[in-house]
């Protein structure tokens, strides 16, 4: 019998967090509303899923904590060092000094050696050399494309695949009109006893300085690695990554080859409390990316004798069609968001029984899956995580008020679903404008293919093309089953770090779930180096007691800052990860 797919709408999820690097949010209103509906209907509409719920497999199996054994002495010694006030003060000085060296990068910079704006990285390199003398005297440093930094800490066993830790040196420019809006000057590196302020304090000098600091401290503790550790620091992640990580990939590939690294960790999300349980959500997937240029050309002339539609009017109709016909979207069991919610369903302490049953039953029941989809997609953020999105971000046309515009174009930014592709995105863009192209009598070319009949008379042309950069396919999804050693090591490291920072024990104090960020990182260049790519920064993304609300990091806007307590835990994470990866099979 075909399953019935229509279910009552169970909940109205709250609006997503207003954060530049948002994580999957809790839906407490969803739980209470769902429970209320189930109670008033006597659980009638969820009862068909109870048997499926009982028979469904484990949704979100967890790794055990992982503490270094062979490296136990270094782990214990350095763990105590990280607790000392003098180490904290030293770390604050390291990060504050890095923030005080501006490393802004702008879109459209000219090539290195021509555009002087690239030269801001040399003072930053000088600062790193002074701040971390042991790193520079013990690790092999290769400068790639002048300003890319690759440090190699050679291990004693060359048969082991290296570990790659990545970060970026550059920061988003500070808008000069907003300088006076900063609580502290944007490059002050000021520490107020709680937060350290300044552009790059969070994105991503906290990651870069965290890695460098731990390597310096490990060298001071006389640690000698068995497995080679490589540090890769790009310098234009915020613009394109082509000059930094793009060239660093060429170097790494030429030295080590394809699939040569055991795992890679780059910037990403952290952990947060959801449904009464703390969840860490390392990003294991990234959407694809494409900018579509929609260009209309028509004859010019004097504006006193206008046609029925100018190129700008035609373009407006085309862009309106984009917003009227968005990409289709459905929740599938392969989506990373679905896997995240399986973890919520199994481990969320405050998830209601009906919602828990629905989440688990969705593993087998298409009706339950459709019901879960309806619940999640009421929240625009969750829907956009799965859907191929479109945003009209730029528009240009006309040169004078009394002259008919001969050319007008708009830019539509796409973030491509992990279940789709660039070719499917191009096909959909092409077909939804076909009828309008015919209506306006335009010669239609889309992505270098002729769509309209050749030789037919026309009143102008419509051209779709990929703007600015080559379209990016969705990233390969990193394996997250417990038979994947890199996922087990990362998960166990997260759990051990969380416990050590709080002086607690147990494997379930923090739950590790697959996650997906909303943007792209430098890892888009590194796919061929390893299938085990994690975008994760072990930072508390929960409530900030100083504000009573969500942690305001100021990333990509005014008042960027980082809570030093959270950052010190990130240092402990890097230390534990390096030591665990050094002695475990990957």
Among the listed residues 203, 236, 237, 582, the single catalytic one is 237
C-alpha of 585 from chain center: 27
Taking Cα atoms as reference points, which of 186, 183, 184, 185 lies closest to residue 174? Answer: 186
473 in catalytic set = no
Asked if residue 462 lies in contact with residue 318, where contact means CB atoms within 8 angstroms, the answer is: yes
Report the alpha-carbon distance of residue 545 to residue 558 in Å, rounded.
Answer: 20
CA distances for 562 relative to 216, 516, 559, angstroms: 21, 22, 10
Q: How many Å from the N-terminal Cα to the C-terminal Cα in the chain?
A: 46
Residue whose tokens read 């005080």: 100
CB 220 within 8 A of CB 150: no
302: which DSSP letter? B
CA distances from 276 to 312, 344, 526 (A): 52, 10, 36
Distance CA 203, CA 197 (A): 12
Task: Identify the sign of the CA torsion 355, 359, 361, 365.
Answer: positive
3-state secondary structure of 42: coil
Closest Cα to residue 569, out of 496, 492, 507, 497? 497
Given the residues 170, 204, 295, 335, select the one marked as catalytic: 170
- The number of beta carbons lying within 10 Å of the beta carbon of residue 180 is 8
For 536, the enclosing helix (H) or strand (E) is: strand 533-540
DSSP string covering 164-190 = EEEEE--BPPPPGGGGGGSSS-TT---
E strands, 215-317, are 229-234, 263-274, 277-280, 283-285, 288-297
CA-to-CA separations, 135 to 132, 142, 335, 497, in angstroms, rounded: 5, 13, 40, 24
List the beta strands (DSSP E) in 91-209.
140-144, 148-153, 163-168, 195-197
Token code pair at residue 385: 């995580």
Token reading at 95: 């990060």
- Is residue 170 annotated as a catalytic residue, yes or no? yes
Nearest in space to 464 (alpha carbons), one of 296, 325, 293: 293
| Catalytic residue positions, numbered | 170, 237
């Amino acid at each position: 019998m075909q399953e019935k797919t229509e279910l009552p709408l169970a909940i109205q999820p709250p609006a997503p967090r207003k954060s530049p690097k948002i994580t999957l949010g809790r839906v407490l209103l969803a739980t209470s509303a769902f429970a209320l509906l189930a109670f008033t209907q006597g659980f009638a509409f969820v009862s068909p899923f109870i048997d499926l719920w009982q028979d469904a497999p484990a949704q979100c199996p967890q790794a055990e904590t992982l503490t270094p054994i062979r490296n136990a002495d270094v782990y214990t010694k350095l763990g105590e060092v990280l607790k000392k006030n003098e180490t904290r003060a030293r770390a604050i000085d390291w990060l504050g000094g890095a923030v005080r060296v501006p490393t802004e990068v702008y879109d459209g910079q000219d090539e290195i050696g021509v555009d002087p704006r690239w030269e801001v990285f040399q003072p930053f390199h000088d600062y790193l050399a002074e701040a971390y003398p042991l790193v520079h005297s013990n690790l092999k440093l290769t400068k790639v494309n002048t300003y890319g930094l690759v440090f190699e800490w050679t291990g004693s066993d060359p048969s082991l695949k290296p570990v790659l830790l990545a970060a970026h040196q550059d920061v988003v420019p500070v808008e000069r009109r907003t300088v006076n809006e900063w609580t502290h000057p944007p490059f002050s590196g000021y520490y107020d006893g709680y937060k350290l302020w300044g552009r790059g304090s969070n994105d991503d000098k906290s990651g870069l300085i965290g890695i460098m600091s731990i390597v310096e401290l490990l060298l001071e503790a006389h640690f000698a690695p068995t497995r080679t550790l490589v540090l890769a620091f790009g310098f234009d992640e915020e613009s394109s990554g082509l000059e930094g990580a793009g060239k660093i990939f060429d170097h790494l590939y030429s030295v080590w080859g394809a699939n040569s690294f055991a795992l890679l960790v780059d910037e990403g999300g952290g952990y947060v409390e959801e449904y009464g349980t703390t969840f860490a959500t390392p990003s294991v997937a990234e959407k694809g990316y494409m900018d579509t240029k929609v260009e209309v050309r028509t004859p010019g002339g004097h504006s006193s004798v206008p046609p029925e539609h100018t190129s700008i009017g035609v373009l407006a109709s085309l862009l309106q069609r984009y917003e009227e016909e968005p990409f289709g979207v459905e929740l599938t069991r392969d989506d990373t968001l679905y896997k995240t919610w399986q973890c919520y369903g199994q481990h969320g302490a405050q998830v209601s029984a009906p919602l828990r049953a629905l989440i688990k039953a969705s593993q087998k029941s298409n009706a339950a899956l459709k019901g879960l989809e309806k619940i999640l997609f009421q929240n625009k953020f969750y829907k956009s995580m799965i859907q191929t999105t479109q945003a009209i971000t730029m528009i240009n046309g006309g040169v004078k008020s009394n002259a008919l515009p001969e050319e007008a174009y708009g830019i539509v930014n796409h973030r491509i679903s992990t279940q789709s592709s660039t070719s499917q995105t191009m096909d959909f863009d092409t077909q939804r404008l076909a009828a309008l192209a015919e209506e306006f009598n335009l010669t239609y070319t889309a992505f270098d293919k002729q769509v309209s009949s050749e030789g037919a008379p026309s009143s102008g042309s419509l051209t779709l093309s990929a703007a600015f950069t080559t379209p990016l396919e969705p990233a390969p999804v990193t394996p997250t089953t417990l038979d994947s050693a890199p996922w087990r090591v990362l998960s166990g490291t997260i759990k051990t770090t969380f416990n050590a920072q709080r002086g607690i024990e147990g494997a379930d104090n923090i739950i590790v779930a697959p996650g997906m960020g909303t943007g792209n990182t430098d890892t888009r260049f590194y796919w061929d180096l390893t299938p085990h790519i994690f975008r994760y920064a072990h930072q508390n993304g929960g409530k900030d007691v100083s504000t009573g609300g969500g942690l305001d990091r100021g990333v990509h806007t005014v008042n960027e800052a980082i809570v030093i307590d959270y950052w010190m835990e990130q240092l402990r994470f890097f230390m534990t990860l390096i030591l665990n990866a050094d002695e475990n099979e990957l």
